[in-house]
Structure 1
């Protein structure tokens, strides 16, 4: 299923005055910290602030809402987290649509990778090394301690700190300048802590990698590749600007890796398919993607399922449905339940208006994997397009019961209610979507619109929506005081 990457370029507004709100329907109990949110950050406070930061980031960066890629990064991330010590809360992993190589962690176990990081990784272990490094920053509480230390020098506001962090992911130099202006912090420690913290994250991260079954030699290999690329480009990569890489760090990781036996660790199929998906849909332009994958397939050892899959995506996105269908059907013959292939196949069928065939395939997959977000979102989308609005609503409400922060589900649910003519529910779903994008004013306006569409006798619904509006306003007012 093809989804639009939602971009909300409001960085200047975020830095000057961060008044956009947050989301998450059941999480109104934000930390009541008075005028100083960062004086002492307990684990629970860190989790709550991390939730705030994650939602604000969602509303300010070009996040990728791709169910397959979301499943992949969270599977890799949680595999690593399961081998980490001092894990205080659940981790969540996200994507930013950015061709630059970078990743960052915020409070509360929220870790975000640029799509460019996966695109450049030559192995799954290389990509895992970046994730493990960021996980170590969280488990060692480097971020929380950084905020506390900065706050001792000058009071930190949620707006100033978060705005600088968000800007730093897009433009590291500007982000450092913003932090320096906000806090008077030194350029060396402005973004990603101190050299000591970086080295500790390298050490802990490598241990996590080994315990999770990845190749520790991928760490020095990835560092070497980054330094070589930076030298070739005659400019410093964004990853190196936010993760200062000294020669001693490279040497330390090499020596530490040599303590482990070398062994071949093959990449998973999910890695190769996810990388092909990123390259085809987020790294290259549509026309270029087709050329790139056609060339890959002619190279020695290049006729792989991943490259065939990448070409199928490129053909689909360029409107070449028939050749894309032939290619993906051959792949499905080898693995009929593969969700990467099924996702592209149902998109092709949708484009060819074979709605009934599409619904039948997805119904079968839904029975096998109920509430899997890849299957459910595709199924609901086809149901919506084909006019089965109530089926779409049922599927999406069920998914949101298990995954209450799914942005795509809220968007589709709003469309389904509108198509069904239920305008009160449409505006409420749109309010929930705006809530996910940290936009309280619009969310509250949408609740008011929903109230206007209720009938006079719907008193219970009226009271429920009024209570929801009060909850939104209370949370918004509390956030603005941070």
Structure 2
């Protein structure tokens, strides 16, 4: 499914969002300095606000295959962690640089470039384990509490620091230092001391989750080598200072575990191929990349065939892409990577009925899988079966109520049916996901104007939704 990246310019740090209108979590009655004491409940609620603002400010990747992989891997590790206080969610940013960060409340973000350069799944997992520990050990929450005690701290200033440092780490860190002086320096020192703890517990978590604990020092060494002869610091290292002592310490800690071979999952090379084809290289570069790999010893792999098929599809060479995918599916017709790509081929070659037939069979087997559901809904939309698409999307949002693509497709489905009241309501929910509170409220008003006098129940429901939006927006503004 080629519905992948959303870049949304920041709409201002005061335009914040808590959660979807149909599943809103009340904001805490914080009073005084909201950050003086962050209980786990407050941390989760404020973290949700922060993540929505981050989603509105960075080029987030809304790719169901990547999303499923990252959340399965990340939550598999969280299940083995100690000190977990709330559910975790994992996200991708479309960025070729190596970087990852965690925010309050169990939200963890990785650049696509981080997985692209990993030599093993354990190396990538080591980055995720490090970020998970930052949350479970409350490093971020304690740092925020410390900063709030030394100087007045608003949600807007906190978000500004995080987002600026993530988008442009060098400028962000310089800006933070210039604006907050010694108070911020103490916060950075505090963070550096936490890096060692995140390494130590992260290595243990790696081992507990079935990954190679030696992968963490190996990945650290790789980062160090990349910057040895360069004047440019890696983005990851601005927020995760890496010294030779830290590399040595992580190596010593890893040696406490017996070294063993840990094979990558079957999905890892396919995810890596997808990232190289769709996010790391341009189209011509991707084709050359996979052709070169396939010509190398040991390179005739399913992952490289899959990556080449994606690159050929993006070049609009649908026949060549289908030939590769047909062979892959003949060996594994339930593989969701191949299913997703073949759906795109069928739709692009005006064979929507064939796509629908293929996806209906898979949906009956796995009705709650977001990859199958979103592809099925997309094919239904292309075939103008808008009511089928609505049924699929509503079911998906019932249990995964932050799925951006589902909201986006819901808007298109209502437009296709010319149901303008529901169209504007769905668009309001979409703006809600993008942290644009004023536009979300405006679209509810437009939706109300589409109703007739016979729609009294709908009118009362939308008025209640509008009031909820206004109330939460007012409470959020008090944090700034």
* CA–CA separation in structure 2 for the residues paired with 1:115 and 1:192: 28
Q: Which residue of 2 aligns with 1:245?
A: 242
* CA–CA separation in structure 2 for the residues paired with 1:182 and 1:385: 51
Does 2:47 match 1:23? no
> Where does the alignment leave 5 or more consecutive residues of structure 2 unmatched?
none
RMSD: 1.3
Deviation of 1:340 after TM superposition, in Å, equals 0.4
- Count of aligned positions: 478
Does the 8 Å CA contact 1:81/1:135 hold for their aligned counterparts? yes
Query: 1:429-464: CA deviations, max 9, x gaps?
Result: 110010000001110011011101112111000000
Decide which of 474, 477, 480 is 1:480's aligned counterpart.
Answer: 477
Instruction: Describe the SS at the equivalent of 1:100.
Output: coil
Instruction: Describe the SS at the equivalent of 2:172.
Output: helix
In 2 relative to 1, CA 81–189 (structure 1 residues): closer, same or farther, beyond 3 Å? farther
Q: Which residue of 1 aligns with 2:459?
A: 462
* CA–CA separation in structure 1 for the residues paired with 2:373 and 2:273: 23
Decide which of 351, 375, 380 is 2:377's aligned counterpart.
Answer: 380
Does the 8 Å CA contact 2:146/2:187 hold for their aligned counterparts? no
Query: 1:128-180: CA deviations, max 9, x gaps?
Result: 00000000000000000000001111011100111110111111122223333
* CA–CA separation in structure 2 for the residues paired with 1:336 and 1:282: 25
Query: 1:76-126: CA deviations, max 9, x gaps?
Result: 101110110010000000001111100000000000000010001010000
In 2 relative to 1, CA 187–41 (structure 1 residues): closer, same or farther, beyond 3 Å? closer
Query: 1:279-337: CA deviations, max 9, x gaps?
Result: 10011011211111111110111111111110000001110100000001101111110
> Where does the alignment leave 5 or more consecutive residues of structure 1 unmatched?
none
* CA–CA separation in structure 1 for the residues paired with 2:189 and 2:463: 43
Query: 1:195-228: CA deviations, max 9, x gaps?
Result: 2200000001110100000001111110111010
Q: Which residue of 1 aligns with 2:143?
A: 146
Q: Which residue of 2 aligns with 1:5?
A: 5
Decide which of 245, 255, 259 is 2:256's aligned counterpart.
Answer: 259
Deviation of 1:368 after TM superposition, in Å, equals 0.8
Instruction: Describe the SS at the equivalent of 1:336.
Output: coil
* CA–CA separation in structure 2 for the residues paired with 1:449 and 1:40: 40
Does the 8 Å CA contact 2:147/2:187 hold for their aligned counterparts? no
Query: 1:383-424: CA deviations, max 9, x gaps?
Result: 011110100000000111011111100110110010011110
Decide which of 328, 341, 344 is 1:344's aligned counterpart.
Answer: 341
Give the TM-score normalised by the residue count of structure 1: 0.97
Decide which of 447, 452, 459 is 2:444's aligned counterpart.
Answer: 447
Does the 8 Å CA contact 1:22/1:439 hold for their aligned counterparts? no
* CA–CA separation in structure 1 for the residues paired with 2:186 and 2:138: 15
* CA–CA separation in structure 2 for the residues paired with 1:158 and 1:20: 10
Query: 1:231-277: CA deviations, max 9, x gaps?
Result: 24332111111100011110111111111111111111111100110
Q: Which residue of 1 aligns with 2:59?
A: 62
Matches within 5 A, 1:125-136: 125-136=122-133
Decide which of 73, 88, 93 is 1:91's aligned counterpart.
Answer: 88
Q: Which residue of 1 aligns with 2:166?
A: 169
Does 2:303 match 1:306? yes
Matches within 5 A, 1:17-416: 17-25=13-21, 26-185=23-182, 193-416=190-413
* CA–CA separation in structure 2 for the residues paired with 1:150 and 1:194: 12
Does the 8 Å CA contact 2:125/2:211 hold for their aligned counterparts? yes
Does the 8 Å CA contact 1:155/1:183 hold for their aligned counterparts? no
Instruction: Describe the SS at the equivalent of 1:194.
Output: helix
Instruction: Describe the SS at the equivalent of 2:407.
Output: helix
Instruction: Describe the SS at the equivalent of 2:61.
Output: coil
